[in-house]
């Protein structure tokens, strides 16, 4: 995969040189969009408040006390915490408590369900892990349902610990933001160790700089919920 990624640059360049006419224009437009997106992501990660010290000019004669520290430090880019947080979320980068997660096989995640007349065509799967299902969710008819999420393993609340306050709150889950195992598990709402979930923090009384109440925040699951019978998470501050 690493080698393929390294060769991919040359392949795309060769393809770009070979395509002409409308196809070439469309391909160039797509590549331009990708590059812009990548540059924005890199800029969002790198941008932070930085200080640059200026070389002090040596002046003739005595300097008053109130002018001694002037022009020593120059703030180049000062961003408020709220803007930083928004940019981090846009770039999809958080400082998470659990960075590396053990990969799970499909056999561990799903159980094959053999049902109906045609026993050979076992295309149905029962999810073995804890899941979050939206309140407005309506199940498909059994004939068309591919993934079955058992009601006994559906969770609505999580025990979220605030790392700075050192306090744990039982908060409602609003949705599953990212499951590191797979994008499919994210869409299914499967919650495993290392999953980033969005929780309702309105009762915590967190306020933005403009005075608005913070409604939802992300938290990372730190335990195996299917073993413990509850979801423990740490708030990403």
- Tens of pLDDT, residue by residue over 200-227, are 999 888 887 778 888 899 999 999 999 9
Neighbouring C-alpha atoms within 13 Å toward the C-beta of 4: 1
In a domain, 58, yes or no: no
In a domain, 122, yes or no: yes
In a domain, 23, yes or no: no
Integer angstrom CA distances of residue 109 from 65, 103, 181, 186, 229: 70, 11, 10, 13, 17
Q: Report the alpha-carbon distance of residue 126 to residue 106 in Å, rounded.
A: 11
What pLDDT sits at residue 174? 95
CATH number at residue 202: 2.40.10.310
Q: Report the alpha-carbon distance of residue 176 to residue 195 in Å, rounded.
A: 8
Question: What are the tens digits of pLDDT across the range 147-196?
Answer: 999 999 999 999 999 998 899 999 999 999 999 999 999 999 999 999 99
What pLDDT sits at residue 99? 87
In a domain, 181, yes or no: yes
Give pTM, 2 decimals.
Answer: 0.61
Q: Report the alpha-carbon distance of residue 169 to residue 163 in Å, rounded.
A: 11
In a domain, 48, yes or no: no
Asked if residue 76 has pLDDT above 80, the reply is no
186, 187, 190, 194 alpha-carbon torsion, rounded to 10°: 10
In a domain, 50, yes or no: no
Domain boundaries, position 122: 106-235
In a domain, 25, yes or no: no
Tally of domains within the chain = 1
Q: Report the alpha-carbon distance of residue 177 to residue 17 in Å, rounded.
A: 39
């Amino acid at each position: 995969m690493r080698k393929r990624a390294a060769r991919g640059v040359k392949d795309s360049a060769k393809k770009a040189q070979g395509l002409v006419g409308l196809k070439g224009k469309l391909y160039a437009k797509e590549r331009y969009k990708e590059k812009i997106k990548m540059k924005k992501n890199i800029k969002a990660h790198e941008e932070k408040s930085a200080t640059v010290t200026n070389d002090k000019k040596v002046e003739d004669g005595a300097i008053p006390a109130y002018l001694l520290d002037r022009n020593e430090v120059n703030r180049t880019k000062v961003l408020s915490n709220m803007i930083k947080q928004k940019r981090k979320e846009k770039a999809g980068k958080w400082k998470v408590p659990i960075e590396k997660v053990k990969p799970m096989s499909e056999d561990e995640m799903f159980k094959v369900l053999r049902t109906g007349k045609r026993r050979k065509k076992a295309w149905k799967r029962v999810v073995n892990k804890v899941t979050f299902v939206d309140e407005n969710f309506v199940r498909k008819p059994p004939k068309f349902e591919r993934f079955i999420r058992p009601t006994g393993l559906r969770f609505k609340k999580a025990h979220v610990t605030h790392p700075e306050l050192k306090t744990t709150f039982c908060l409602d889950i609003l949705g599953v933001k990212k499951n590191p195992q797979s994008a499919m598990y994210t869409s299914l709402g499967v919650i495993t160790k290392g999953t980033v979930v969005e929780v309702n923090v309105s009762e915590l009384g967190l306020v933005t700089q403009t005075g608005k109440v913070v409604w939802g925040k992300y938290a990372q699951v730190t335990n195996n919920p299917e073993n413990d019978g509850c979801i423990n998470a740490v708030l990403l501050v």
